[in-house]
Structure formats: C-alpha cells, structure tokens
C-alpha cells in the first residue's frame, strides 16, 4: 500500500493488472486520498465522502483525473475583449474563476473574480457540471474538451441568466459589477458608447464560450524585472490585463483582455532594451517638446541601425517583418486611450543579459530619479509614482475602431519598481500605468520557452 500510495494515480490501473492482490489494493481509499492530496492539493476531509457513498477513488478518477486537462489559465474567445479564466481545484470542486481588473482607474487595487462554472461529484456515476453565470444560483451546464489546450462551456438553462427587470436591469447590474458605477456617473459620451457596446457584445454569449490555454511567461535571472501579468490603464476603455514577457533584447506587453481598437492577443507595447533614454532634470521633464525630441532622436537612431542592416543590429529584426516606418497588421503597433493603446511587434532573437546589465548601470535615470509627466500628457490615474529606475525607447500599437489602420508609434517605457511600470504614448499624449497582478496561479507554467512563444503567436493570430 505504501508503494502504491507513492505512485502517480495514472500508473496504478496498469500496475494492478499484474496480480489479483494488486487489484484488491486499488480499492483502498488510503491510496486515493493521498493521490488526491499530493497531485491536486485536495486537503478536505475525504472521509466525509463515505456518507454520500462516493469513494476517494471516484473523486480521483471521475472528477480530478477526468478534468485535469482544463486546470490552469485560459483566454475566452469573446471577440476583441478576451479575458482571463483560472480553473482550479477548490476543495471537492473544480471551479472556473473569471479574473477581472479592479475598477477604473484604481490600478493598484487587487483583481476581482467571479465563478463561471463548477464541477463536482454528487453521486458515483459521473461528475456534475454547473453554470454559475447570472444571479439565480448554480444550474445545469456542460463542458466539452474540444482538443488539446482548448475546451468549451455551454449553459443548458440560459433562462437563469435573465432578470425580472429585463435588459435594463441586467445592464445596470452589469455596469455596477464591471465599472463600479452607474451610467449617469459617466459623463464622457464616447465612454458611454464603449461601455454599452461591450455589454451588448459580451452578454450575447450567455456563458457559452470557447477557451484557449495561455501560459505565464518564463522567467530568467537576467530579466529586467520578473515577467507576468499586469493591470494597465487604457483611457476610455478602462483597465485591461497585459502580459509582460522578455525576449532577449526586447520586452513585450501582450493584451490578455482587449477592446474594439486593439483586441486581446495583440502586443500593446514593445520595449527596446538596447536603447536607454536618459530623462532630463525635473523641470525639463514637464516640457513635452523636450521629451518628444529625446524619443524621436532614439527612433532615428533605431531606423539608421535597421537600414545599415548588419548582423549586430539588424539580423534579429529582419525576422520581425516591416520596419516601424512600414507597419502592417501582421506586425501591429501601439494603442491609446480613445483609439486603443496597444503594440504588436514581431520576433527578435536578441541576446540575454542586456536588460540586467542596463539595470546595474548607475545612469541618470537610475534608482530614485524624480519623475513627472510632461504638461499636456493625460493620465487616468494621477497617483503614479514620482520616482523611476530607468527608461527605454519603445513602440505602442494604436488603431481605429475594429482594429483598422494599426500603427506602431514611438513612446517611452518607464520602470518604476519591481511591480509597476508606465508607458508614454507620444503621438496620443497619453500615459498608461501598469501594476502587477499579485495572484498566484497553479498549472500555468509553460512546458518550454518554445511553447510560450507558440502560445503568443496563436492568440495574436486570432485577432490579426
């Protein structure tokens, strides 16, 4: 029994075929209780299951093992809006939690989350899937594992999603949950239109969604900061979730949630870690023309390096596709508040170590340098950090409604600390502030760096 209890549960049925005694051992709950605990973190008192006639082996085989492939992080296919779903084992349930950014513009507040579905074992026959959408409690649902790294959910009782007050009550309730306010509190007409559009678009799905797996970015010791998920301000679109990852001499911010201008999956910003920007003194920082001059000088230097072509400066970028001056939808650019701040860069092999070396250089924009936004640059959150560590040249992706005419535009990446960074959209005279998502996610690590890169390409291709 000790030997069996220490082996992965998936191996035990095969091993049990060796002899009759082994097959008898497989019916011992002690073994399956340990497998539930060690493989899936179930720490509940599984002995209570005996009252319902469900064994620990049933829990392992019919619930945990059967649905193991949907554990982890997922992005729902909700048009341009995307989302972040975390499927976890929670006691004797498997629950799909939709993670939502805090209410705009409180970027440092913790994430919000709500359950979309749950799976549990009510009897020995099979696990029960329940839809949790709406305000009338759990009701019958269905989950289908379409293929590797993809599954879909369906609600079989969508009438549970309706409210007695009709669509108006549903909209008011959604608005309070999504934005923390009423429509009367939002005076900006364009913002009202964006909010109403999102409600109409997302509510039509009725929790019948397809999800595709996403991974957290791999981390290396020489990364500028720890990669991961961040909440960012995007003007009238509110707060959105962005994944920061490092790729040699470049860093990229990929949208996990998006909007009609720059959809989820596109790269909102790309940072060139080879080109530091030394900010002037505090007084000159207030001068937008001075900041613009510094950034455009660096952009011209980048263009010259690209034109020179050599292996040292251009080989990696040649695989990136069109240059900044020749953008294309396949290689997206930057986004802004009302148009949609977001950048979609291409590939760059780069060399590791550049970012960490830059972090160690005692530059003018090093630890604790005073920072202030230039006059005329708008920010959703005026409570941004007033000191920064360093700054780099970057590009952001902007586009018209429906991701039309995407264009990469120059900007400044500002590293404030380990958990916060910002981006100044030069053309839009706008500032986005990003704050790290502090939640811990299990079953979310990529099996390899190649698998992570492939995942980024896949989610981008869906909306390109």
Is residue 168 within 8 Å of 175, Cβ to Cβ?
Answer: no
The answer, yes or no, to whether residue 324 has pLDDT greater than 90, is no
Q: Is 172 helix (H, G, I), strand (E, B) or coil?
A: helix
pTM: 0.85
pLDDT value at position 425? 97
- Chain mean pLDDT for the chain: 85
Residues 6+ apart with CB under 8 A from 300: none
> Per-residue confidence at 262, pLDDT binned at 50, 70, 90?
very high
Pick from 130-144, 169-183, 238-252: least confident: 169-183
- Whether 341 has a pLDDT exceeding 70, the answer reads no
In the chain, where the domains are located? 223-304+368-462
Identify each DSSP E strand in 111-184 by its residue range: 112-120, 128-131, 139-147, 150-155
Degrees, nearest 5: CA angle 122-128-132: 115
Q: Convert the pLDDT of each residue in 271-281 to its tens digit.
A: 999 999 999 99
User: How far are the Cα atoms of 129, 268, 366, 377 from residue 423, in angstroms, in the given order?
Assistant: 43, 10, 17, 11
Question: Are the C-beta atoms of 57 and 26 separated by less than 8 Å?
Answer: yes
Q: Is the pLDDT at 79 greater than 90, yes or no?
A: yes
Q: What is the pLDDT of residues 404-424, one digit of tens each?
A: 999 999 999 999 999 999 999
CB-based contacts of 10: which residues, under 8 Å, 6+ apart? 65
Residues 211, 150 contacting (CB under 8 angstroms): yes
Supply the pLDDT for residue 310. Answer: 55
**pLDDT (average), residues 17-25:** 73
355 vs 161 pLDDT, higher one? 161
pLDDT at res. 450: 95
d(CA 267, CA 398): 10
**Model confidence at 318: pLDDT above 60:** no
Residue 316 has pLDDT above 90, yes or no: no
Q: Is the peptide bond before 12 cis (omega within 30 degrees of 0)?
A: no
Q: List the one residue out of 273, 418, 298 whose CA is nearest residue 352.
A: 273
Query: Is the predicted pLDDT of residue 330 greater than 60, yes or no?
Result: no
Q: Residue 367: pLDDT above 70?
A: no
Q: Are 429 and 336 in contact (CB under 8 A)?
A: no
Segment among 44-48, 126-130, 270-274, 291-295 with least mean pLDDT: 44-48
> Span 386-405, mean pLDDT?
96
**For position 331, what pLDDT does the model report?**
35
Tell me what percent of the residues of the chain surpass a pLDDT of 70. Answer: 84
CATH number corresponding to 223-304+368-462:
2.40.128
Q: Please report the pLDDT score of residue 345 as a whole number.
A: 35
Task: Give yes or no for a contact between 233 and 433, defined as CB atoms under 8 angstroms apart.
Answer: yes
Confidence at residue 146, expressed as pLDDT on a 0 to 100 scale = 82
Higher pLDDT, 331 or 340: 340
Candidates 257, 210, 261, 270; CA nearest to 229 is 257
Cβ pair 260, 80 in contact under 8 A: yes
**Residue percentage of the chain with pLDDT more than 90:** 64
Quick: pLDDT tens for 219-258. 999 999 999 999 999 999 999 999 999 999 999 999 999 9
Per-residue b or e along 421-456, where b marks 16 or more CB atoms closer than 10 Å to that residue's CB: bbbbbbebbbbbbbbbbeeebebbbbeeeeebbebb
Q: Name the residue with higher pLDDT: 323 or 412.
A: 412
DSSP state of 251: E
Choice among 5-9, 117-121, 150-154, 230-234 with the minimum mean pLDDT: 5-9
Task: Kindly write down the DSSP assignment for every residue of 431-460, as one continuous string.
Answer: EEEEEE-----SS-B-SSHHHHHHHHHHHH
């Amino acid at each position: 029994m000790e030997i069996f209890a220490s082996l992965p549960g998936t191996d035990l049925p095969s091993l049990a075929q060796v002899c009759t005694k082994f097959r008898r051992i497989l019916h011992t709950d002690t073994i399956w209780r340990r497998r539930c605990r060690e493989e899936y973190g179930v720490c509940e008192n599984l002995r209570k299951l005996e009252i319902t006639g469900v064994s620990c082996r049933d829990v392992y085989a019919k619930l945990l093992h059967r649905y193991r492939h949907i554990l982890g992080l997922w992005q729902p296919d909700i048009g341009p809006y995307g989302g972040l779903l975390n499927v976890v084992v929670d006691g004797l349930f498997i629950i799909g939690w939709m993670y939502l950014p805090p209410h705009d513009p409180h970027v440092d507040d913790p994430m919000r989350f709500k359950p979309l579905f749950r799976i549990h074992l009510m009897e020995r026959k099979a696990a029960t899937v329940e839809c949790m959408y709406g305000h009338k409690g759990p009701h019958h649902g269905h989950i289908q594992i379409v293929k590797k790294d993809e599954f879909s959910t369906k609600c079989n009782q969508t009438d549970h999603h309706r409210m007695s007050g009709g669509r108006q009550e549903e909209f008011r309730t959604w608005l309070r949950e999504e934005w923390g306010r009423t429509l009367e509190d939002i005076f900006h007409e364009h913002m009202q239109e964006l909010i109403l559009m999102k409600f109409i678009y997302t509510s039509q799905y009725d929790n019948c969604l397809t999800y595709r797996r996403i991974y957290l970015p791999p981390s290396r010791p020489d990364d500028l900061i720890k990669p991961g998920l961040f909440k960012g301000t995007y003007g009238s679109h509110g707060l959105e979730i962005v994944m920061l990852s490092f790729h040699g001499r470049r860093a990229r911010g990929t949208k996990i949630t998006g909007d009609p201008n720059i959809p989820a999956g596109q790269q909102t910003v790309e940072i060139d870690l080879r080109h530091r920007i030394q900010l002037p003194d505090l007084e000159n920082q207030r001068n937008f023309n001075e900041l613009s001059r510094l950034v455009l000088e660096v952009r011209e230097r980048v263009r010259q390096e690209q034109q020179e072509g050599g292996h040292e400066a251009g080989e990696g970028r040649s695989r990136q596709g069109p240059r900044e001056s020749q953008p294309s939808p396949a290689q997206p650019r930057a986004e802004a508040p009302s148009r949609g701040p977001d950048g979609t860069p291409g590939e760059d092999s780069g060399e590791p170590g550049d970012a960490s070396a830059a972090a160690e250089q005692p530059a003018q924009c090093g630890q604790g340098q005073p920072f202030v936004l230039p006059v005329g640059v708008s920010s959703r959150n005026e409570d941004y950090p007033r000191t920064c560590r360093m700054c780099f040249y970057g590009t952001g992706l902007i586009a018209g409604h429906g991701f039309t005419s995407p264009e990469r535009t120059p900007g400044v990446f500002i590293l404030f600390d380990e958990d916060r960074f910002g981006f100044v959209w030069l053309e839009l005279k706008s500032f986005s502030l990003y704050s790290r998502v502090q939640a811990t996610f299990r079953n979310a690590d990529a099996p390899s760096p190649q698998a992570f890169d492939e995942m980024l390409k896949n989610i981008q291709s869906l909306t390109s």
